[in-house]
Amino acid sequence: MKIFVEAIHKGIWNAIKNEPFIPMVENKKVISGKPWSQWTEQESKKSQYDCIAKNITTSALSSNEFFSVSQCESTKEMWDSFEVTHEWANDVKRSRNHTLIQEYEMFRMLKGETIVEVQKWFTHIINHLMSLGKTFDKEELNIKVHCHI
């Protein structure tokens, strides 16, 4: 998602990871949102990044995922919700990583399983571990597969 959005414009990714841009004005030492009619062209363009980010994000969602974030005010709020829901939060990620490492360590071909089923499951475990930052040496993977099939 980051690569896709940054390819369009880094300002859009900034709107996702931070709060949307809101032009501010100081009046009698009180800072508040600037009236829309007073926005400069540059401020208007920057504030549009969150709208573009919302459009991109919601276009990629299933109806259930859309419903879960449809009340969010900003793309940042949506993204934060996704991080928790989709296991991107650090504590959930750590727990998932631990579970996957245990699955990797306990990996064995079970009676009645086909080579295709075992390969599919092994690849699933490895891909998820790699997405969480674990690296593997090809020799280590080959030994693991050959010893347990």
Q: Are residues 64 and 15 in the same domain?
A: yes
CA separation for the pair 120, 40 (Å, rounded): 55
Tokens of 74: 């900003």
Q: What is the pLDDT of residue 78?
A: 92
Model pTM greater than 0.75? Answer: no
- Please, what is the average pLDDT of the chain? 87
Q: Are residues 65 and 109 in the same domain?
A: no
> Domain boundary at 85, 102, 129, which?
85
Q: What percent of the chain has pLDDT over 70?
A: 95
Q: What is the pLDDT of residue 87?
A: 64
Q: Are residues 137 and 70 in the same domain?
A: no
Tens digit of each residue's pLDDT (9 = 90 or more) over 2-57: 899 999 999 999 999 998 888 998 888 888 889 889 999 999 999 999 999 999 99
CA separation for the pair 21, 11 (Å, rounded): 10
Q: Are residues 73 and 40 in the same domain?
A: yes
Residue the block writes with tokens 């674990």: 134
At 89, is the pLDDT very low, low, confident or very high (cuts 50, 70, 90)?
low
Q: Are residues 113 and 63 in the same domain?
A: no
- Rounded to 5°, the CA angle 81-82-88 comes to 110
Q: Are residues 15 and 73 in the same domain?
A: yes
Q: Minimum mean pLDDT among 32-46, 90-104, 109-123, 127-141: which range?
A: 90-104
Q: Are residues 74 and 9 in the same domain?
A: yes
Q: What is the pLDDT of residue 149?
A: 67
Q: What percent of the chain has pLDDT over 90?
A: 37
21: Cα separation from own chain's centroid: 21
Q: Looking at the 3D structure of the chain, how many domains does it have?
A: 2
Residues 91-105: what's their mean pLDDT? 84
Residues 90-114: what's their mean pLDDT? 85
Please give the residue range of the domain that contains residue 131.
Answer: 90-147
Q: Are residues 80 and 95 in the same domain?
A: no
Q: What is the pLDDT of residue 55?
A: 93
> Domain boundary at 66, 85, 104, which?
85
Residue 72: CB atoms within 10 A of its CB come to 17
Q: What is the pLDDT of residue 51?
A: 93
Q: What is the pLDDT of residue 143?
A: 85
